[in-house]
Amino acid sequence: MKITAAVLRELNKPLSVEELNLSDPKSNEVLVKIDAFGICHSDYHVVTGLAKQELPVVLGHEGAGTVLEIGDGVTDVEVGQNVLLNWFPYCKQCPQCLVGNTNHCKTYMEMLGQGKMLDGTTRLTDSNNKPILQLSGLACWSTHVVVPDIVCTKMPEETPPEIAALIGCAVTTGVGAVLNQASVHEGSSVVVYGAGGVGLSIIMGCVFAGAEKIIAVDRSEAKETMARSMGATHFIKAGKDMLGNVKELTDGLGADYAFDAVGNIDVAEMLLPSLRERGLALLVGVPPTDSKIRVDATDVFRQEKRLTGTIYGSADTGADFERFARMYLSGLLPIDKLISKHYKIDEINQACEEMLNGSIARGVVIF
């Protein structure tokens, strides 16, 4: 069938919105009509080359839609069902899955991480019949996708597609970081560097966890209103004195928890100095491949501060996607507040631009 999708043909160039050919689902694959997708910074890391990916590729790893057709052997998904597309499916059988570390399952990552289906091919070709890769095996910056059935996660029926899409990346990454990895405690103090989709999700998770002081830091002043509306109690404009400002706001001690939602080495190196003794720092944003972080040994030894990371919110996506959807539906997670703007698919370059200049929280394309 003919579809419309946003293709990255050259690094650091605008995406081209093109008509492509999408072939039928093979065994254990599913054709999904995309209802909504989010614009995530990680997609943009592919545009700049910070995240390595062969080109040309259709971007998009934060999407939700409706199942139109299923291939042979598909049993868990039905035509007409609303599904969230999971960019990190797991196998339930490998050593990591068996001990519950499902976000470290490697079974499907080799192929999906290259932008291919599990048989090593792609379902997309362009008008010259040249193959086009599918980012994370999803490629949901598109009107339709064919994906492996294991990425399709059934959502509670009343979940709006744009909410499901955001649970597919930003929300699970941010809220999962707070609840699954940091276990932020009631009455604690938190500093969150970066108030984009993931940073705002961290703030949302900290409010749910009962943190008392939530300090958001961002270089864009436009983020102050968004951060405060999610529940941040303080806002610092990123700049020279931000470390001093964090200390000032935390009785000179530093925070109990510090999150890097940017994925920037300079920010990562500020995490431990932002903490009080025994505080916990988490890398949540994707750091550049092969980068190194300098750590003051005194912070770790004498002050017993801890530094770790979290991939996909350390989530068990099989349980957490539905948990976060239900928390939204019952009013515990105001995920809708993350969405500042709706776009059409042919406005994708404008959507990226507005994400980069910090004027929006999450931009969502809806169909």
Per rule CB under 5 A, is residue 307 in the interface with Zn ion? Answer: no
Interface segment toward Zn ion; rule CB under 5 A; list 93-101, 108-116, 174-182, 216-224: 93-101
Give the type of residue at 21: N
**From 22, 105, 152, 261, residue interacting with Zn ion (rule: CB under 5 A):** 105
Answer whether 198's CB lies under 8 Å from 261's CB.
yes
Interface segment toward Zn ion; rule CB under 5 A; list 63-71, 165-173, 330-338, 358-366: 165-173
Q: Which is nearer to Zn ion, 62 or 299 (CB)?
A: 62
Q: Which is nearer to Zn ion, 261 or 327 (CB)?
A: 261
Per rule CB under 5 A, is residue 132 in the interface with Zn ion? Answer: no
Q: Which is nearer to Zn ion, 91 or 243 (CB)?
A: 91
Per rule CB under 5 A, is residue 42 in the interface with Zn ion? Answer: yes
- As measured in angstroms, the least distance from the Cβ of 99 to Zn ion is 10
Burial (CB count within 10 angstroms: exposed 0-12, middle 13-18, buried 19+), residue 321: buried
**From 6, 36, 70, 169, residue interacting with Zn ion (rule: CB under 5 A):** 169
Interface segment toward Zn ion; rule CB under 5 A; list 75-83, 96-104, 204-212, 327-335: 96-104
Per rule CB under 5 A, is residue 5 in the interface with Zn ion? Answer: no
Per rule CB under 5 A, is residue 265 in the interface with Zn ion? Answer: no
Per rule CB under 5 A, is residue 107 in the interface with Zn ion? Answer: yes
- As measured in angstroms, the least distance from the Cβ of 52 to Zn ion is 16
Q: Which is nearer to Zn ion, 246 or 352 (CB)?
A: 352
- As measured in angstroms, the least distance from the Cβ of 127 to Zn ion is 29
Per rule CB under 5 A, is residue 151 in the interface with Zn ion? Answer: no
Per rule CB under 5 A, is residue 40 in the interface with Zn ion? Answer: yes
Interface segment toward Zn ion; rule CB under 5 A; list 25-33, 95-103, 207-215, 300-308: 95-103
**3-class SS string, the chain:** CEEEEEEECCCCCCCEEEEEEECCCCCCEEEEEEEEEECCHHHHHHHHCCCCCCCCEECCCCEEEEEEEECCCCCCCCCCCEEEECCCCCCCCCHHHHCCCHHHCCCCHHHHCCCCCCCCCCCEECCCCCEEEEHHHCCCCECEEEEEHHHEEECCCCCCHHHHHHHHHHHHHHHHHHHHHHCCCCCCEEEEECCCHHHHHHHHHHHHHCCCEEEEEECCCCHHHHHHHHCCCEEEECCCCHHHHHHHHCCCCCEEEEEECCCCHHHHHHHHHHEEEEEEEEECCCCCCCCCCCCCHHHHCCCCCEEEECCHHHCCHHHHHHHHHHHHHCCCCCHHHHEEEEECHHHHHHHHHHHHCCCCCEEEEEC
**From 64, 97, 192, 232, residue interacting with Zn ion (rule: CB under 5 A):** 97
**From 17, 51, 91, 111, residue interacting with Zn ion (rule: CB under 5 A):** 91
Site size for Zn ion, by CB under 5 A? 9
Q: Which is nearer to Zn ion, 40 or 132 (CB)?
A: 40
- As measured in angstroms, the least distance from the Cβ of 284 to Zn ion is 11
Encoded tokens for 81: 């069902």
Q: By CB under 5 A, name the binding residues for Zn ion.
A: 40, 42, 90-91, 94, 97, 105, 107, 169
